[in-house]
Amino acid sequence: MQERVLGYENRRELTLVGKALSSEVRLDILKMLDGRQMNVNEIAEQLHIPASSAAMHVKVLEEAGLLSCELKPGVRGSMKMCSRQVDALSIRLAAEEEKQEQVETISMPVGNFVDHDVKPCCGIVSDKEFIDEEDEPRGFYNPNRTQAQLIWFEAGYVEYRFPNLGLKNRTLKSVEFSAELCSETQFYNMDCPSDITLWINGCEAGTWRCPSDFGGRRGKLNPDWWPDRNTQYGKLKTWRFTGKGTYINGKKVSDRVLEDYGWREHPYISVRIGIRDDAQCVGGINIFGERFGDYPQNLVLKLIYAEAVE
């Protein structure tokens, strides 16, 4: 059984889940998907609602992480198959424990990678212009890369190193890493699945299958010069590492627990984002900075501590 636990530290997720559960139609959809998959047309037919309305409800549930949708071949092209991702929801309202926590938040610009191995199509732009030639991996060596607000590549990885000085004399309770991400293809493509993987200190930390290289409407933060035909926005994905396992947006993806990632083994925390060489869906990746896409944030690492050790 997939159980999801949310607390005050998951404010955005709580808001999305609350919205998703505020409709009787969406509750009916969750019940219908108990142990089976359905496409949008089947959901609409069973609920006696228009397909467009069913698609809207599915989108709200998907944004809350309660459903996942995957495009599969159908009789007349591809069809979106929906499956429920959570069997139980728990919400912690007691705040006493939260008050004892100390949170260190580190914001890393997307251009501050220390290592990379990228394959074209690839590119790197600031909020003002292209930093180097498009589809040239050499552009990732340009010293102006630190000004990047959007980077993309078809295969490979980029690696960042976050400071871990705060771990000294404190007990680490959990860690979160969040980033706005999507697939990558020429221009944009809503049917472009990509298996995006995170590694922490060399340990694989779970893969998210992104359904799309999102476009069709402008990203909320995109500069005016960025063409409408290009990638526009991504999804905000949060990896969480606890003593019980590894989670992506509340869904458990690995039994690997917090202590397995070696947070103190180096004078830094290595965070690598990319596409596995043997990935089932090699659909590239876009990594958004605080001035591109929909979310005004860089790559964010949160170290959640218990009370300081005396």
Write out pLDDT tens, residues 126-136: 999 999 999 99
Give 158's contacts (C-beta < 8 A, 6+ positions apart). 113, 115, 116, 118, 140, 151, 272, 273, 274, 287
**May I ask the CATH architecture of the domain 101-308?**
Sandwich (2.60)
Q: What pLDDT, on a 0 to 100 scale, did the predictor assign at position 98?
A: 47
- Fold match, 3-91 / 101-308: no
Helix axes 51-63, 24-32, angle to 10 degrees: 80
Give 249's contacts (C-beta < 8 A, 6+ positions apart). 13, 65, 237, 238
Instruction: Indicate the residue type of 297.
Output: Q
Asked whether the predicted pLDDT for residue 296 surpasses 70, the reply is: yes
Task: Map out the domains of the chain as residue ranges.
Answer: 3-91, 101-308
Tell me which residue of 251, 254, 240, 238 sits closest to 206, measured CA to CA: 254
Q: What pLDDT, on a 0 to 100 scale, did the predictor assign at position 4?
A: 78
d(C-alpha 276, C-alpha 78), whole Å: 25
Q: How confident is the model at residue 91 (pLDDT cuts 50, 70, 90)?
A: confident
- Residue length, the chain? 310
d(C-alpha 121, C-alpha 283), whole Å: 11
Phi, psi at 259, each rounded to 5°: -70, -15
Q: What pLDDT, on a 0 to 100 scale, did the predictor assign at position 309?
A: 42
Look up the CATH number of domain 3-91: 1.10.10.10
d(C-alpha 214, C-alpha 18), whole Å: 25
pLDDT tens per residue, range 130-158: 999 999 999 999 999 999 999 999 999 99
Q: What pLDDT, on a 0 to 100 scale, did the predictor assign at position 310?
A: 42
Average pLDDT in the chain = 91
The overall pTM is greater than 0.75: no
pLDDT tens per residue, range 30-51: 999 988 889 999 999 999 999 9
Query: Pairing state of beta strands 245-248 and 251-254?
Result: antiparallel
Q: What pLDDT, on a 0 to 100 scale, did the predictor assign at position 307?
A: 66
